[in-house]
């Protein structure tokens, strides 16, 4: 059995876990003191050696990202923390910031010091006001404690940290769209290159990292590279938050070494809900191709999940049992992508619009067999042709579900209705009017 590894989550059950006192008492900010005495290049090397990879979904090596910054030219360079958590299924950064905001603040200070940044930003999605309160307070406490501001702990190093609230746009999780949004514009992705490392915020060299990546930095500095690389698999090092949701007995946050399997996680989570079986699941949010019980033993690391045809993504494990209609699930995700498409590029803007139309009529029993092929053809026209990863992500659940559950799509066409009783999937009792319609159709 793979052991669980609470590190970021270790103090979540402490009294006032979000306060600087609790965090400091538990050893917090000792990594900062250590880092401020360490040469910057050594800090960057340590994060490279740790093998820490971006926890926001793409899995790009964090230390390498820092290393891409051009040599210091005496002008500003920036750290921007991506706290725009909104990939469907993903719910790890919000509890981290709510219960342990200082891990992020300390990580942001160490990272800023390492890359020579004097003004860092945390871009938080706007729809979580209590998280914003906690972050604003944590930053204020850090200033009062001398961890932020001018001449930090007598080192001569200065750092401002601004927490910025967005205003509701999934696309702002895409790093260049986030930068445009932080500059006060519509959050639309930029053409790359130039990459943010060269021309990011205000066209200056910028590092953009996910909350969990940055919050992991203090532990690496404090406990050492060997401790971190002692967890995980060959090329996916360290621990990460695995978020189980849906039809499981104990949904929640399970921090574990990368490479743990869903079978193991389900054991900790008390299994799929009573009397039901696993039907399909997402390994890393709605933008990652779906898996089935066949993948229960796939190690959840970047390489193994990729080799099995999906992506580790944000480790957002959404679990659906046999009562769930896959067409309904995919339709709703697709409506999400349609809603969140920024409109900048045609394949995504038009493609997601039509995909949602087709899925809607299929789910309502008004589709044809040709519609199923049309879905795949439209996905082909989007995948690899959209301006950013949103378009690609929109196709993942469609192509994977048609491959795995084509007969279920066909059943919607042949029966002229959704064959599922939607009330059976809900976590509370109710009578589904739609089920009555279905019975009539079937009778």
Nearer to another protein, 36 or 136 (CB): 136
Q: Going residue by residue from 218 to 237, which x/- string records binding to another protein, judged by CB under 8 A?
A: -x---x---xx-xxxxx---
Which of helix, strand or coil describes residue 364? coil
State yes or no: cis peptide before 293, omega within 30 of 0: no
Q: How far is the CB of 370 from another protein (least distance, A)?
A: 25
**Count of residues touching another protein (by CB under 8 A):** 117
Strands of 218-315 (E only): list them. Answer: 239-246, 252-257, 278-282
> What is the C-alpha separation between 166 and 322, in angstroms, rounded?
37
Where in 303-342 is the site for another protein (CB under 8 A)? 303-304, 307, 316, 318, 320, 324, 328-330, 332-333, 336, 339-340, 342
* Residue 355 found at the interface with another protein (CB under 8 A): no
Nearer to another protein, 81 or 182 (CB): 182
| The only residue of 154, 184, 193, 275 in contact with another protein, by rule CB under 8 A | 184
DSSP label at residue 72: P
* Residue 439 found at the interface with another protein (CB under 8 A): no
262 neighbors 281 (Cβ within 8 angstroms):
yes
Nearer to another protein, 152 or 301 (CB): 301
Nearer to another protein, 130 or 370 (CB): 130
> What is the C-alpha separation between 338 and 160, in angstroms, rounded?
37
- Crossing angle of helices 433-442 and 389-415, in 10° steps, is 50
Interface segment toward another protein; rule CB under 8 A; list 129-137, 347-355, 374-382, 405-413: 129-137
- Crossing angle of helices 389-415 and 369-382, in 10° steps, is 180
Q: Going residue by residue from 254 to 293, which x/- string records binding to another protein, judged by CB under 8 A?
A: xxxx-xxx--x---xx----------------x-------
Q: Going residue by residue from 26 to 45, which x/- string records binding to another protein, judged by CB under 8 A?
A: --------------------
Nearer to another protein, 41 or 249 (CB): 249
Where in 99-128 is the site for another protein (CB under 8 A)? 99, 119, 125-128
430 neighbors 409 (Cβ within 8 angstroms):
no
235 neighbors 217 (Cβ within 8 angstroms):
no
> What is the C-alpha separation between 5 and 71, in angstroms, rounded?
37
120 neighbors 108 (Cβ within 8 angstroms):
yes
Nearer to another protein, 15 or 154 (CB): 15
Q: How far is the CB of 302 from another protein (least distance, A)?
A: 10
Nearer to another protein, 18 or 405 (CB): 18
Nearer to another protein, 14 or 385 (CB): 14
Element (H, E) at 205: none
* Residue 399 found at the interface with another protein (CB under 8 A): no
How many Cα atoms are found within 13 Å in the side-chain-facing hemisphere of 252?
13
Contacts of 179 (CB under 8 A, 6+ apart): 80, 190, 196, 200, 201, 206, 208
40 neighbors 46 (Cβ within 8 angstroms):
no
Q: How far is the CB of 35 from another protein (least distance, A)?
A: 18
| The only residue of 25, 192, 250, 403 in contact with another protein, by rule CB under 8 A | 250
Nearer to another protein, 234 or 294 (CB): 234
* Residue 408 found at the interface with another protein (CB under 8 A): no
Nearer to another protein, 43 or 359 (CB): 359
Where in 59-88 is the site for another protein (CB under 8 A)? 76, 85-88
Exposure string over 287-296, b if 16+ CB within 10 A, otherwise e: bbbbbeeebe
Q: What angle do CA 127, 60, 5 make, to 5 degrees?
A: 75
Q: Tell me the two tokens of residue 37.
A: 């005495």
Q: Going residue by residue from 131 to 170, which x/- string records binding to another protein, judged by CB under 8 A?
A: -xxx-xx--x---------------------xxxxxxxxx
342 neighbors 186 (Cβ within 8 angstroms):
yes
Q: How far is the CB of 223 from another protein (least distance, A)?
A: 7
* Residue 428 found at the interface with another protein (CB under 8 A): yes
* Residue 52 found at the interface with another protein (CB under 8 A): no
DSSP label at residue 89: T
* Residue 400 found at the interface with another protein (CB under 8 A): no
Please name which of 96, 83, 123, 117 lies closest in space to residue 17, comparing C-alpha atoms: 96
Nearer to another protein, 160 or 392 (CB): 160
């Amino acid at each position: 059995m793979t052991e669980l590894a609470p590190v970021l989550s270790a103090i979540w059950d402490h009294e006032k876990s979000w306060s600087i006192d609790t965090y400091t008492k538990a050893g917090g900010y000792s990594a900062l003191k250590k880092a401020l005495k360490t040469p910057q290049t050594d800090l960057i090397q340590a994060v490279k050696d740790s093998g820490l990879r971006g926890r926001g979904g793409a899995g790009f090596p964090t230390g390498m990202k820092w290393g891409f910054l051009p040599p210091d030219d005496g002008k500003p360079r920036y750290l921007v923390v991506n706290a725009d958590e909104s990939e469907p299924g993903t719910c790890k950064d919000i509890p981290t910031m709510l219960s342990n905001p200082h891990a992020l603040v300390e990580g942001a200070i160490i990272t800023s010091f390492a890359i020579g940044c004097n003004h860092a930003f945390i871009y938080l999605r706007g729809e979580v006001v209590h998280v914003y309160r906690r972050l604003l307070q944590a930053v204020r406490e850090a200033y009062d404690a001398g961890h932020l501001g001018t001449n930090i702990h007598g080192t001569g190093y200065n750092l401002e940290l601004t927490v910025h609230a967005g205003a509701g746009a999934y696309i702002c999780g895409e790093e260049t769209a986030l930068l445009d949004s932080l500059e006060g514009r519509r959050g639309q992705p930029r053409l790359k290159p130039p990459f943010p490392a060269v021309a990011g915020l205000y066209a200056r060299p910028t590092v953009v990292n996910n909350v969990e990546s940055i919050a992991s930095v203090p532990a690496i500095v404090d406990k050492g590279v060997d401790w971190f690389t002692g967890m995980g698999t060959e090329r996916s090092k360290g621990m990460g938050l695995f978020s189980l949701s849906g039809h499981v007995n104990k949904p929640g946050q399970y921090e574990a070494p990368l490479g743990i399997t869903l079978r193991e996680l389900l054991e900790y989570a008390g299994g799929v809900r009573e009397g039901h079986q696993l039907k399909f699941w997402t390994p890393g949010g709605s933008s990652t191709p779906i898996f089935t019980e066949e993948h229960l033993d796939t190690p959840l690391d970047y390489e193994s999940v990729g080799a099995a045809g999906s992506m580790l993504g944000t480790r957002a494990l959404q679990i659906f049992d046999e009562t769930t209609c896959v067409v309904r699930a995919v339709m709703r995700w697709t409506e999400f992508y349609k809603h969140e498409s920024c409109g900048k590029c045609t394949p995504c803007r038009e493609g997601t619009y039509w995909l949602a139309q087709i899925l809607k009529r299929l789910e309502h029993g008004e589709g044809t067999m040709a519609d199923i092929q049309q879905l795949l053809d439209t996905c082909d026209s989007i995948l690899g042709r959209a301006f950013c990863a949103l378009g690609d992500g929109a196709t993942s659940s469609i192509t994977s579900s048609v491959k795995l559950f084509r007969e279920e799509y066909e059943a919607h066409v042949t029966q002229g209705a959704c064959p599922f009783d939607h009330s059976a999937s809900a976590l509370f009792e109710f009578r589904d009017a739609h089920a009555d319609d279905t019975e009539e159709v079937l009778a």
